[in-house]
Amino acid sequence: MRLAAKVAVITGGSNGIGAAAAVLFAREGAKVVVADIDADAGRARVAEIAAAGGEAVFAACDVGVTDDIKSALQQAVDTFGGLDILFNNAAIQNTRSILETSDEDFDLSIRVNLKSVFVGIREAARLMIAQGRGGAIVNTSSSFAIVGSPGYAAYHATKGAISSLTRAAAIGLMEHGIRVNAICPGTIDTPGLRRGVATTADDPAEALDRYLALQPMKRFGTAEEIAQAALFLASPEASFVTGENLVADGGYTIV
Ligand SMILES: NC(=O)c1ccc[n+]([C@@H]2O[C@H](COP(=O)([O-])OP(=O)(O)OC[C@H]3O[C@@H](n4cnc5c(N)ncnc54)[C@H](O)[C@@H]3O)[C@@H](O)[C@H]2O)c1
């Protein structure tokens, strides 16, 4: 098992990519804290992991609130005896264009998507340094950190900043044996993607077909495929990898 005896906190672990990572990390031997605002789905994820013989707990956590992040990380220490991995994955997807984005939209995206990653890295690193056994932090950026699009103005800004922050944190924490990397998913079939399409498109089915036509592989990625990329970066197999933005997008950004 690739994460045997490791303790992992996964934000946004109740649904989508985070949920797939919670299940996968637990299958690979990690004890998992599922940190999310969606308690029902989070508890379902914990039950799913337990039914498969793994160990997990749910932490009620709004990543836009510093104290919530701190208490989710502390829960890992209190329940499982330490912290080895933080997957900074939760985010909101504001679909608005630059002209439609209000100050409030922008501030909210910065707080929930970006500041959460900064606070998560800082607080996890403090705990990891005190433990003295290093650690691995994985941040969820996006292919939208690399290419532009007509909408998602605030979202693009936060993801670009996460990719850059990942490099800075990797250098800053290297001396403590803490690796910091990011994944840049392309279009992934998750509840978040479908919710975004349903709330913005007049004809969601037609919009999904349009997105599909843009995919070089002629399909969307799955949450499990992104969880596998996060697993690699979190695992000892990536021991010489830090500051990397691993693109998992079916070729979306290379065409
Ligand atoms: N799906 C895609 O196409 C795609 C592409 C690139 C990047 N991403 C990124 O992947 C990550 C996961 O996206 P997803 O598609 O799985 O989304 P999702 O909406 O399916 O799941 C997101 C999870 O985050 C939780 N969450 C939302 N706000 C939160 C908050 N304030 N505090 C704690 N938890 C919160 C939700 O409850 C949910 O469980 C995000 O960072 C997203 O930006 C997704």
Q: Give the CATH number, domain containing residue 233.
A: 3.40.50.720
What backbone torsions phi and psi does residue 194 show, to the nearest 5 degrees? -65, -35
Which residues are within 8 A (CB) of 164 and not within 5 positions of it... i.e. 6 or more apart?
none
* Atom nearest to 141 CA in ligand 1: 7
CA of 113 to the centre of ligand 1 (A): 9
> Does the Cβ of 192 fall within 6 Å of ligand 1?
yes
- Report whether 111 contacts 90 (CB < 8 A): no
Residue 1 located in a structural domain: no
Domain total in the chain: 1
54 lines ligand 1 (CB under 6 A): no
Whether 131 is in a domain gets the answer yes
Strand partners, 5: none
Of all protein residues, the one whose alpha carbon is nearest to atom 24 of ligand 1 is 12
Q: What is the pLDDT of residue 189?
A: 98
Helix (H, G, I), strand (E, B) or coil at 8: strand
How far is Cα 104 from Cα 116, in angstroms, rounded to an integer?
17
Which ligand 1 atom lies nearest to the CA of residue 93? 43
Nearest CA to 72 out of 95, 89, 47 is that of: 89
Active site residue 211: no
Reduced to 3 states, what is the DSSP secondary structure of residue 33?
strand
Ligand 1 centroid to Cα of residue 16, in Å, is 7
Examine residue 27 and state whether it is found in any structural domain, yes or no: yes
194 in any annotated domain: no
Ligand 1 pocket member 187 (CB < 6 A): yes
What does the alpha-carbon distance between residue 60 and residue 36 come to, in Å, rounded to a whole number? Answer: 6
d(CA 79, CA 83): 10
Q: How far is 189 from 215, CA to CA, in rounded Å?
A: 12
Stretches where the chain sits below pLDDT 50 are none
Question: How many residues are recorded in the chain?
Answer: 255
Q: Is 142 close to ligand 1, i.e. is its CB under 6 Å away?
A: yes
Residue 196, domain member (yes or no): no
Q: How far apart are CA 137 and CA 49, in angstroms?
A: 22
The residue among 234, 221, 169 whose CA lies nearest residue 192 is 221
Ligand 1 atom with the shortest distance to the CA of 143: 6
Residue 211 lies in a domain: no
Q: Is the CB of 20 under 6 A from ligand 1?
A: no
According to the model, what pLDDT value does residue 201 have? 86
Three-state secondary-structure class, residue 185: strand
**Structural domain harbouring 85:** 7-186+221-242
Q: How far apart are CA 247 and CA 250, in angstroms?
A: 9
Q: Locate tokens 């649904």: which residue? A: 15
For residue 62, which atom of ligand 1 is closest to its CA? 32
Question: How many helices (H) does the chain have, and how many strands (E)?
Answer: 9, 7
CA of 139 to the centre of ligand 1 (A): 12
- 93 belongs to a structural domain: yes
Determine if ligand 1 sits within 6 Å of the CB of residue 68. Answer: no
**Interatomic CA distance for residues 63 and 18, integer angstroms:** 13
Q: What is the DSSP letter of 221?
A: B
DSSP 243: S
* Residue 199 included in any domain: no
